[in-house]
Structure 1
Amino acid sequence: MKTVAIVVFPDFLLLDMAGPVEVFSIANRYLHAEHHYRLLTIGTQASAIRASNGVSVQPDLCLTEAPKSYDLLLVPGGPGAYNDRIPALFTWLTEAAQQSGLYGSICTGAFILGHAGLLDGHRVTTHWHYTERLISGFPAAKVTTDEIYIKDRRLLTSGGVTAGIDLALAIVAQDHGRKVALDVAKVLLVVMTRQGGQAQFSPLVAAVATQETPVTRVQNYLLDHLEEEFTIERMAAMASMSARHFSRVFVREVKMTPMEFIQSARIDNARSLLETTTLPLKTVAHRSGFGSVRHMSHLFSERLGLTPTQYRQQFG
């Protein structure tokens, strides 16, 4: 029997906890008793702890009485994970991670692991909306932005919310085989392995900065005229700069090259049209500046892991 412990704290995200718990609980239906998962919740206090949605959870144990060795130790995310500091939890996790077989986080629980010093030198991920914040907060971590979950040595991290279910299914598959994990996925009405990563859900282009600069003027023009053809030289002329200087300034301000910005903006525009209209793919490609459905399909598959048709079926 393996023990899975999940730490809860004020303002945690309930689904981050409940998703993995349901996976392991349902897996127990298909396993002999000696192979069951033993599920524990460990609270930062002995009394009931309120999740971010208002539901209260009574933990099985509190930090002061909980052992520090588990087969799997998980930390959920939520506003309490990235807005609050709980030094006692950080200290406890540092020791418990050393003694546990595997440890990790769901969603923004990565911030708690970061404050406990457990992300340094590891490949990690979190919810796409918070990756930049994780990068700036924990520069010694190797943050990736697209993967649903990552296992780096004994550390497990996952993307937002329902990614905890993906992570738990992967653990069940590793422990007891793909057949058991697939049976659990069927009960939960989820796919065993998702097509693509977090990029399907996140915008590829961040909002243009509000202050007006030569670069933001070019950005705004590009976003309004995606169907036009653009070269570095044309964009540089619009900003009254040399091509070389414009490229350098653009990368410094936007964190991507001008051509990467155009490509990403076109994909985002096409995604919006696929989500909100029934326009033919040829029209979507034209309005987004791709020139052809074939070119659009190639970039969608490369960047999102889905074709435009698959994207519309999933999100439209």
Structure 2
Amino acid sequence: MHPVAFIVYPGFELLDLSGPAAVFNGANRALGERGRPPAYRVAIASAGGGAVASSSGIEVETGSIAALEPGEACTVLVTGAEREPLLAAVADPALRAALPGLTAAPGRFGSVCTGGFVLAALGLLDGHRIATHWDSAVPLAKAFPAVTVDAEALYVVDGRLWTSAGVTTGIDMALAMVAQDLDAAIAGEVAQRLVLYARRPGYQSQFSPVLTAQAKAESPFADLIGWIQANLAAPLDVPALAERVAMSERSFHRKFVAATGATPARFVETARLDAARLMLSRGLALKAVAVRVGLYPPARLTEAFERRFGMTPSLFRDMHAEL
């Protein structure tokens, strides 16, 4: 059994706990269906133990963090919260006394969302690269200059340290842990049971152009963006896209930039390269990827990939392909 301890405190974000915990429980279920024993045992700990209310008002029953022995939990994750509950957690003497010992033991440790502030305040993130919610990246980097904050990544793995960005990305990080501990097939099955659109890799950006467009009520491009992502192999130049939304090319270009923050050409290339990274991480051949994402011949994909990411698609596949 692989014990997993979530550290919570009054006002914590419930999804930071429930999302990853559901992943570990799902992995146990998948193993059981294969006739194998469960792999994870989840515990929830707080400074004083007992019932702890989340920001949504839902309470969870916890054990005392002081009762956790160093090394007892193979994975220790601190949940996040909004500013006031987080400041209270950072100042809590019981958390400050217990966390250094828990994270010093062999095994993984880290945070979900803004939980990184708690670890950073104890100097446990110094010299490390971490992820956190995009809205907290600048404050965390300013407050703790010894920490390198990746403001875009969904989650970051730096040795034993695992940190994720905002709320739902804790699910992505937990799935990556399951894939590492067990295998990618189990992680994929858990993702399917949770009705996730896809297992998102850590390098994927927090900033979704689809959400950016949808967040602007006046934007006429939400449907078009969905169509682009479903038809990456189609001609996606300005004349074709403008015709699809019944606009002049000049008007389309201007309004698209205002809605998404990117030119149509840049947006399309980003969508194609993001899809290419996902396909490459699944081991697809370079030629097949180039055809599917509309960057054929492969030399065209390679040129765009190197320009954007500083490495060849083949090297990226070797580094990230799922086993």
- TM range, smaller chain: 0.5 to 0.7
Structure 1 residue 138 displacement after superposition: 0.9
Partner residue of 1:297? 265
Aligned: 1:2 with 2:2: yes
Letter of the aligned partner of 1:193 in structure 2? R
Partner residue of 2:67? 65
Structure 1 residue 91 displacement after superposition: 2.4
Partner residue of 2:17? 17
Letter of the aligned partner of 2:252 in structure 1? V
Contact 2:210 2:222 in 1 (8 A): no
Partner residue of 2:221? 274
Letter of the aligned partner of 1:19 in structure 2? G
Partner residue of 2:40? 37
Q: 1:193 aligns with which of 188, 191, 200?
A: 200
Structure 1 residue 196 displacement after superposition: 3.6
Alpha carbons of 1:285 and 1:7: their partners in 2 closer, same or farther (altered >3 Å)?
Answer: same
Letter of the aligned partner of 1:23 in structure 2? V
Whole-angstrom CA distance in 1 between matches of 2:60 and 2:134: 27
Whole-angstrom CA distance in 2 between matches of 1:39 and 1:133: 31
Alpha carbons of 1:124 and 1:305: their partners in 2 closer, same or farther (altered >3 Å)?
Answer: farther
Whole-angstrom CA distance in 2 between matches of 1:289 and 1:188: 34
Whole-angstrom CA distance in 1 between matches of 2:137 and 2:268: 22
Whole-angstrom CA distance in 2 between matches of 1:196 and 1:121: 23
**Percent of pairs with identical residues:** 32
Structure 1 residue 87 displacement after superposition: 2.9
Alpha carbons of 1:304 and 1:103: their partners in 2 closer, same or farther (altered >3 Å)?
Answer: farther
- Deviation track 1:234-283 (CA, whole Å, cap 9, x = no partner) reads xxxxxxxxxxxxxxxxxxxxxxxxxxxxxxxx9x98x9553499945844
Letter of the aligned partner of 1:175 in structure 2? D
**Gaps in structure 1 of 5+ consecutive residues:** 205-265, 311-316
Pairwise CA RMSD: 3.3
Q: 2:58 aligns with which of 42, 48, 55?
A: 55
Contact 1:3 1:39 in 2 (8 A): yes
Whole-angstrom CA distance in 2 between matches of 1:47 and 1:165: 25
Structure 1 residue 199 displacement after superposition: 2.0
Compare 93-102 and 30-39 and name the one that shifted more: 30-39
Letter of the aligned partner of 1:15 in structure 2? L
Query: Helix, strand or coil for the counterpart of 1:198?
Result: coil
Q: 1:110 aligns with which of 113, 116, 121?
A: 116
Partner residue of 1:75? 78
Larger Rg: 1
Contact 2:28 2:37 in 1 (8 A): no
Whole-angstrom CA distance in 1 between matches of 2:67 and 2:205: 39
Contact 2:257 2:263 in 1 (8 A): no
Aligned ranges 1:1-316 → 2 under 5 Å: 1-31=1-31, 34-59=37-62, 61-69=63-71, 70-79=73-82, 82-84=86-88, 85-190=91-196, 191-193=198-200, 196-200=204-208, 272-275=219-222, 279=245, 282=249, 283-288=251-256, 296-299=264-267, 301-302=269-270
Partner residue of 1:261? none
Alpha carbons of 1:300 and 1:121: their partners in 2 closer, same or farther (altered >3 Å)?
Answer: farther
Whole-angstrom CA distance in 1 between matches of 2:49 and 2:257: 58
Contact 1:149 1:163 in 2 (8 A): yes
Contact 1:199 1:304 in 2 (8 A): no
Alpha carbons of 1:201 and 1:92: their partners in 2 closer, same or farther (altered >3 Å)?
Answer: farther
- Deviation track 1:207-237 (CA, whole Å, cap 9, x = no partner) reads xxxxxxxxxxxxxxxxxxxxxxxxxxxxxxx
Query: Helix, strand or coil for the counterpart of 1:40?
Result: strand
Query: Helix, strand or coil for the counterpart of 2:67?
Result: coil
With structure 1 as the length reference, what TM-score do the two structures score?
0.68
**Gaps in structure 2 of 5+ consecutive residues:** 225-243, 276-292, 294-323
